[in-house]
Amino acid sequence: MLEFKADLHIHTCLSPCGDLDMTPKKIIGKAKELGIGILAVTDHNSCGNVKVTQHLGEEAGLVVLPGMEITTREEVHLIAIFGEIGPLEELESFIYEGLDVPNRPEIFGYQVLVNEGEEVEGFVEPLLITASKLSLEEAVFRIKEAGGLSIAAHIDRQSYSVFSQLGFIPPGLNLDAVEVWDRSGYSRLREESIDLSRFPVLTSSDAHFLHEIGRKSTLFYIQSGAFEEVAKALRSQEGRYIKGHCGI
């Protein structure tokens, strides 16, 4: 197996909370510098900067997986990752239909679509950080039905996590993995007698600024950076496996 350093939770300048320096070109440059072999672009409720990042990643020899951080109706953050952009764009279109609050960039920040040369191509009008109309269960079902991976984001945080919003992971929820912020957060959950043994545990940066990329990562031991290999590692199939940056 080959070792791949992966950061599967990165925001671009499309997320209103993302720094304007988080352009696809700069993200790929930083990831290359840090030896990250696999990354996922996971903007809030949108995937508008994924294609550009993928193309630049391909040129740099990096794998960029299409992703999105969905805010569910309960305000739980859920990461969706796919092998191809098509199903993700369909999911984005559905989510957009339920986003009816316009963005106010002077308050929330700009939601910028850019090209490979870092030129502004446009702006997304609906406020992307608002809750979608999808429940957590519905979101996971749609992701799985379309062939994607569903990951509960930063479950150890005090806001926008499955535990902060619901207090538990619903029985039977078909998650592929959970993401924790750091080892202390993971330890706290275990001290609270929360059993996470049935889920692979990822650590990712949730980067909104360039200097945050790669500050947390997961090591994947797989044969290539392909989506199918990533999925096998999460399932511990055919000798593939993962190891979190925090030793989790």
pLDDT at 16 over 70: yes
Domains and CATH numbers, the chain: 2-244 (3.20.20.140)
pLDDT at 120 over 70: yes
Residues in CB range of 234: below 8 A, 6 or more apart:
149, 176, 177, 200, 242
Cβ neighbours of 29 (radius 10 Å): 15
Question: pLDDT band for position 64 (50/70/90)?
Answer: very high
Geometric angle at alpha carbon 7, from 247 and 1, rounded to 5°: 70
Q: Are 15 and 105 in contact (CB under 8 A)?
A: no
Q: What does the pLDDT average to over 122-140?
A: 97
Q: Are 77 and 68 in contact (CB under 8 A)?
A: no
Q: What pLDDT does residue 13 have?
A: 98
Distance CA 183, CA 64 (A): 26
pTM score of the predicted model: 0.94
Q: Are strands 77-81 and 112-114 parallel, antiparallel or unpaired?
A: unpaired
pLDDT at 168 over 60: yes
Predicted confidence (pLDDT) per residue in 90-103, tens digit = 999 999 999 999 99
Question: pLDDT band for position 9 (50/70/90)?
Answer: very high
As a whole-number percent, the residues of the chain with pLDDT over 90 amount to 89
Helices (H) and strands (E) in the chain, counts: 8, 11
Q: What pLDDT does residue 112 have?
A: 98
pLDDT at 193 over 80: no
**Phi, psi dihedrals of residue 127, rounded to the nearest 5°:** -70, 115
Scanning the chain, the segments in alpha helix (DSSP H) are 24-34, 50-60, 85-97, 105-108, 136-145, 162-165, 183-191, 227-234
pLDDT at 176 over 80: yes
Q: What pLDDT does residue 194 have?
A: 80
